[in-house]
């Protein structure tokens, strides 16, 4: 029984650990960089980050960007379910010297799919790139969740000890 309890605790800890972080994905032609003004990881709903798109196939021109929020996942929903799976940005940005940038505060954690359509001088799409931007969970929230679950387990264990010890004394007579 005690071995099963230890396995349960180990599985709980593993499920609460954050996933690996990939800040941007590179596809042939376009690279995404996420720069946090405070340095370190971008935290959802806390940090305004500079999203920089680096184009290798054009020097000057424009691009149409479409950024969607992460899709809803059954096992790990976010703090704001109304935002999940919605369109966040649909805009045309100018590309100068092979770069385009904008500031954005990502509302929730997860993988943001971004479609970048490179436009020619006539405004027609000459290339389409599918990118992925990963925003990890806030490390402070993960730490607080682990502490909270630990306190609940400790409290339950102590209450169980007190109730079983008291029950044992009343039935011993």
Residues in Cβ contact with 27 at an 8 Å cutoff, skipping those fewer than 6 apart: 129, 130, 131
Name the region of 34 (left: φ>0; alpha: ψ -120 to 50; beta: rest): beta
What's the mean per-residue pLDDT of the chain? 76
pLDDT band at 30 (very low <50, low <70, confident <90, very high): confident
Q: Tally the domains of the chain.
A: 1
Evaluate if residue 147 carries a pLDDT over 90. yes
- Which of 39-48, 53-62, 155-164 is predicted most confidently? 155-164
CATH at 34: 2.60.40.10
Cα dihedral: 140, 143, 149, 152 (round 10) = -80
The structure's pTM equals 0.64
If DSSP codes are grouped into helix, strand and coil, which group holds residue 44? coil
Evaluate if residue 169 carries a pLDDT over 50. yes
Evaluate if residue 11 carries a pLDDT over 50. no
> For the segment 132-145, what is each residue's pLDDT rounded down to a tens digit?
888 887 778 889 98
> Which structural domain range is residue 36 located in?
2-171
φ, ψ of residue 94 in degrees (nearest 5): -90, 145
Evaluate if residue 50 carries a pLDDT over 70. yes
63 or 72, greater pLDDT: 63
pLDDT band at 22 (very low <50, low <70, confident <90, very high): very low
């Amino acid at each position: 029984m005690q071995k099963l309890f230890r396995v349960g605790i180990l599985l709980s800890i593993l499920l609460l650990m954050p996933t690996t972080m990939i800040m941007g994905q590179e596809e042939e032609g376009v690279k995404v960089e996420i720069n946090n003004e405070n340095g370190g990881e971008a935290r959802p709903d806390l940090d305004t980050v500079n999203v920089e798109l680096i184009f290798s196939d054009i020097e000057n021109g424009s691009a149409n960007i479409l950024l969607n929020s992460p899709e809803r996942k059954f096992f790990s929903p976010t703090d704001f379910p109304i935002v999940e799976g919605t369109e966040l940005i649909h805009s045309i940005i100018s590309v100068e010297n092979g770069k385009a940038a904008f500031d954005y505060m990502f509302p929730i954690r997860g993988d943001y799919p971004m479609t970048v359509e490179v436009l020619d001088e006539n405004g027609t799409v000459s290339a389409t790139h599918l990118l992925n931007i990963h925003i990890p969970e806030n490390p402070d929230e993960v730490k607080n969740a682990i502490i909270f679950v630990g306190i609940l387990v400790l409290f339950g264990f102590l209450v169980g000890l007190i109730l079983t010890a008291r029950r044992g004394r009343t039935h011993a007579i």
